[in-house]
Amino acid sequence: MIPRTVYSAEHELFRATVKRFIAEEVMPYHAEWEKAGQTPRELWLKAGAAGLLCCAIPTEYGGMGGDFLHTAVLIEEFAGAGATGPTFYLHSDIVAPYVLAFGTEAQKQHWLPRMASGEVIGALGMSEPSGGSDVQAMRTNARREGDDYVINGQKVFITNGHTADLLILACKTDPTARGKGVSLILIETDRPGFKRGRKLEKLGCKAQDTAELFFDDLRVPVSNRLGGEGEGFAMLMTQLAQERLIQAIRGVACAESALRWTIDYVSQREMFGHTLADFQNTRFELADMHASTLMQRVFVDRCVELHLREELDATDAAAAKLVATNLQCQVLDRCLQLFGGWGYMWEYPITRAFADARMSRIGGGATEVMKQIIANSLLPKAPRGGKSK
């Protein structure tokens, strides 16, 4: 096995803390959370007390003052355990970085310490029913009235939508423009005019809180805006590489765990007087999946190293997400097949992981969008209609 060199001894000590937290505070209750459709607020407070939230946020704002490797450890361990319910990565490593990078000092002092403690849960409102990945075409609008914005519209597929106290809302402050008309506004979810819709019933990731959100003449002060008016799309683009790298890390960790579960199962399962592990087909399947997963692990670790140096570009992040999430789904499908009928039973981790994995090729930008990003870096952009000259 090729040794991993990206983590220090300090990160491995942190990994032990994360493993213990998952074993004691998450896995005994995860099945209950899947039935409830969300994780309890108490878990967020426990995670905050254990130092597992906002790890890369500076200590002056209540965070641990760590780096992205602490984030990567958390993502790997939760994904590897099949613990898809607690969406700490979204809160800590997608939402909080927007506040840190683009918020005023007052906004950072007000929100980040409470996000690090788990007192405030964050969410990001981008996707809409009319178009998920086409952020520039969003219809939710914020009309300026004096010192307020009046917001109308709706969002869908919003993770943490039902529990969030703070929503970073992407909306149009100039409906006549595309990307240059998008702004990011901080929304306190107890404001009049904010309404949560139904909990969405999903194929997998059932313990994740996923919601529809509605805005009906919701008023917020202009001081709630992140950055300048019309700068939202550019701000979103600066954070997407990290979001896609997170999905790649999750994908590889999940594939590695699926292989471990499957090796354990086939080594014990008897058939025709032998274990499944004795059959050449089983051995070749596992060998092929191990080789593919190992190759992807090395590439993703390299992307993490580049990201730590702020050298990971959007194309390489898209490539990491594209290949890692495709591999995740392929490995889960092949591993489930080796479990036979038991692979179709919800009580087995492989079954839940199979259902959970399908989201990874959509969340953080669909597979087709990743291909488009990569293609645009290789070839002249095709004109509308899809035909190049």
Displacement of CA 75 from its chain's centroid (Å): 9
Q: Determine how β-strand 166-172 pairs with β-strand 122-125.
A: parallel
| Residue 266 CB neighbour total at 10 angstroms | 21
Which tokens hold the place of 288? 């092929």
| Beta-carbon-side half-sphere exposure of residue 44 (alpha carbons within 13 Å) | 25
Torsions phi, psi of 60, nearest 5? -65, -20
Q: Give the list of residues 6+ apart from residue 345 with CB closer than 8 angstroms, or none.
A: 351
The CA-atom distances, in angstroms, between 113 and each of 36, 95, 147, 268, 331 are: 28, 13, 27, 49, 39
What is the rounded distance in angstroms from the CA atom of residue 40 to the CA atom of residue 42?
5
The catalytically annotated residue of 243, 256, 270, 305 is 243
What ranges make up the beta strands (E) of the chain? 122-125, 141-145, 148-159, 166-172, 182-188, 194-199, 210-221, 225-226, 270-271, 274-275
The rounded distance, in Å, linking the Cα atoms of 271 and 274 is 5
CB 110 within 8 A of CB 96: no
Give dist(CA 26, CA 320) in Å, integer: 28
Query: What phi and psi values does residue 220 have, to the nearest 5 degrees?
Result: -135, 150
Q: Which residues contact 264 (CB under 8 A, 6 or more apart)?
A: none
User: Which residue, among 137, 194, 162, 328, has the nearest Cα to 251 in the 3D structure?
Assistant: 328
CA–CA dist 272, 220 (Å, integer)? 68
Is 243 a residue of the active site? yes
C-alpha–C-alpha distance, residues 361 and 328, integer Å: 9
Residue-level length of the chain: 389
Catalytic residues: 243
